């Protein structure tokens, strides 16, 4: 029995060092489907988009692809027409080595912005990258996409559709510039499910909205964030093209895998010492609950209070007050885990505040805010803001 769960029929993987990173770590990865696969993808909402994002956005319109080439250490962003030419060049070289169409190759990059892609280094290593393709080298690709990540992020799932076993494997990178609508996060998923591209796109968007788009570390949005899923149809079941029982089974598996990967990203955030679930309840609408949650999650004063283990509820109320929502401060209740620290907009006293401070000493806890305005609800995962976050980002390019 094979002990490696990160295998999916018909997919091969490779990851090597091409010398893009200064420290010699792996920085070039390849995911390859032996046959053309249905594809779906979501990309950064940043109006400044990296060359690989623009190229991949165009190529997934065809509905099929066969390979994903990814590098770390260089974002190939803000590199003008040269960045596009470099992207087309490396995909052309790879297509010849693999014997597939250039348009069936998707590109992804992460790293320093504004520096030209070192195409000569990549070109020299493409033959080695292709020779190394194996069903057992999933982790090599995971390591090749890491930048400030401290640990690899990967997850797998399986289910049965019409009696046939279906496998799904996912990987992600991201430790900073993480906020909704993706952000300096890459995630690649492969499955042997037989599923049409349009339906796959619909499911992927719904899942991403419930997972990757509900995490935030520092409120920054990247030029390169990308989520891609390939489905090669090797599982012997009828095609999935609608949200029937089988479609729901697949979506549930995808949701579980992406939820786990999203949690890994938050836990591995730059300088993170605490993970906080922020739950807004009783807002006027779900959209207002969302604004309130991000208003709190993006407040440097709130995040540094989390780091300092200070139950400073005044900062939370202040963040709510400028989050552009309907609010009556004399109705607001705030809880750390189950400890009520604010009732009807007023602090509940030093004894409960002391108990709340003990909650903040935990590595993970929940902040609940009830606005008593309506039925709108929203929750997300965020982190504290530590001294190490500043140190990591102050020296990122050095």
- Of the chain, the percentage scoring pLDDT greater than 90 comes to 81
What does the domain layout of the chain look like in residue ranges? Answer: 11-267, 275-394
| pLDDT score of 223 | 84
* 164-168: average pLDDT: 97
- What CA–CA distance (Å, rounded) separates 50 from 335? 41
- The length of the chain in residues reads 398
**Residue 353, token pair as written in the block:** 């505040």
Element of type H or E holding 156: strand 153-161
| pLDDT score of 204 | 98
Please report where in the chains the tokens 């929750």 appear, as a residue.
379
| pLDDT score of 219 | 59
Span 190-205, pLDDT tens digits: 999 999 999 999 999 9
**DSSP string for residues in 19-65:** S-STT----EEEEEEEEEEEEEEEE---SS--HHHHHHHHHGGGSEE
- 275-394: CATH architecture: Roll (3.10)
* 349-369: average pLDDT: 96
Cα 70 to its chain centre, rounded Å, is 15
Please report where in the chains the tokens 């709340």 appear, as a residue.
356
pLDDT band, residue 120 (cuts 50/70/90)? very high
Cα 128 to its chain centre, rounded Å, is 29
- What CA–CA distance (Å, rounded) separates 9 from 4? 13
CA dihedral 333→337→338→341, nearest 10 degrees, is -40
pTM of the model: 0.87
Residue 125 three-state SS: helix
Lowest mean pLDDT among 156-170, 172-186, 275-289: 172-186
Span 279-336, pLDDT tens digits: 999 999 999 999 999 999 999 999 999 999 999 999 999 999 999 899 999 999 999 9
Spatial contact of 77 and 55, defined as CB atoms under 8 Å apart: no
| pLDDT score of 184 | 61
**Residue 281, token pair as written in the block:** 């309840």
- Is the torsion defined by CA of 125, 127, 130, 131 positive or negative? negative
Query: Is residue 348 flagged as an active site residue?
Result: no
Span 66-80, pLDDT tens digits: 999 999 999 999 999
Mean pLDDT of all residues in the chain?
92
Residue 376 has pLDDT above 50, yes or no: yes
- SS3 for 80-104 is HHHHHHHHHHHHHHHHHHHCCCHHH
- 11-267: CATH architecture: 4-Layer Sandwich (3.60)
Residue 179 has pLDDT above 80, yes or no: no
Residue 181 has pLDDT above 50, yes or no: no
Spatial contact of 106 and 64, defined as CB atoms under 8 Å apart: no
Catalytic residue among 44, 79, 148, 184: 184
Apex CA 397: angle with CA 396 and CA 398, to 5°?
Answer: 95
């Amino acid at each position: 029995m094979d002990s490696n769960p990160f295998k999916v029929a018909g997919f091969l993987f490779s990851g090597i060092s091409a010398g893009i990173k200064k420290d010699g770590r792996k920085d070039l990865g390849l995911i390859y489907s032996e046959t053309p696969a249905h594809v779906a993808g979501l990309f950064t909402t940043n109006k400044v988009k990296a060359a690989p994002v623009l190229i991949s956005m165009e190529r997934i319109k065809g509905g099929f692809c066969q390979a994903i080439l990814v590098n770390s250490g260089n974002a190939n962003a803000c590199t003008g027409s040269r960045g596009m030419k470099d992207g087309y060049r490396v995909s052309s070289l790879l297509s010849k080595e693999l014997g597939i169409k250039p348009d069936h190759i998707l590109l992804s990059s992460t790293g320093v912005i504004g520096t030209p892609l070192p195409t000569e280094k990549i070109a020299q290593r493409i033959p080695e990258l292709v020779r190394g393709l194996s069903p057992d080298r999933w982790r090599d690709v995971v390591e090749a996409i890491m930048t400030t990540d401290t640990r690899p992020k990967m997850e797998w799932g399986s289910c049965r559709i019409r009696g046939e076993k279906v496998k799904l494997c996912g990987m992600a990178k991201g430790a900073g510039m993480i906020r909704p609508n993706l952000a300096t996060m890459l995630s690649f998923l492969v499955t042997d499910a037989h599923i049409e591209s349009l339906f796959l796109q619909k499911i992927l968007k719904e899942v991403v909205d419930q997972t990757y788009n509900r995490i935030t570390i520092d409120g920054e949005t990247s030029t390169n964030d990308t989520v891609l899923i390939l489905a090669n149809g090797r599982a012997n079941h009828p095609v999935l093209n609608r949200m029937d029982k089988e479609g729901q089974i697949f979506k549930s598996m995808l949701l579980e895998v992406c939820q786990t990967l999203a949690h890994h990203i938050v836990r591995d955030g730059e300088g993170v010492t605490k993970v906080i679930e922020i739950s807004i309840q009783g807002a006027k609408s779900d959209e207002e609950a969302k604004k309130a949650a991000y208003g709190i999650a993006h407040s440097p004063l709130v995040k540094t209070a989390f780091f300092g283990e200070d139950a400073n509820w005044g900062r939370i109320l202040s963040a709510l007050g400028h989050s552009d929502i309907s609010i009556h401060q004399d109705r607001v209740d705030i809880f750390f885990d189950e400890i009520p620290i604010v009732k009807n907009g007023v602090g509940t006293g030093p004894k409960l505040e002391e108990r709340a401070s003990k909650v903040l000493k935990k590595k993970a806890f929940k902040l609940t805010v009830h606005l008593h305005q309506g039925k709108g609800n929203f929750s997300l995962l965020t982190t504290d803001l530590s001294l190490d976050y500043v140190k990591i980002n102050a020296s990122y390019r050095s």
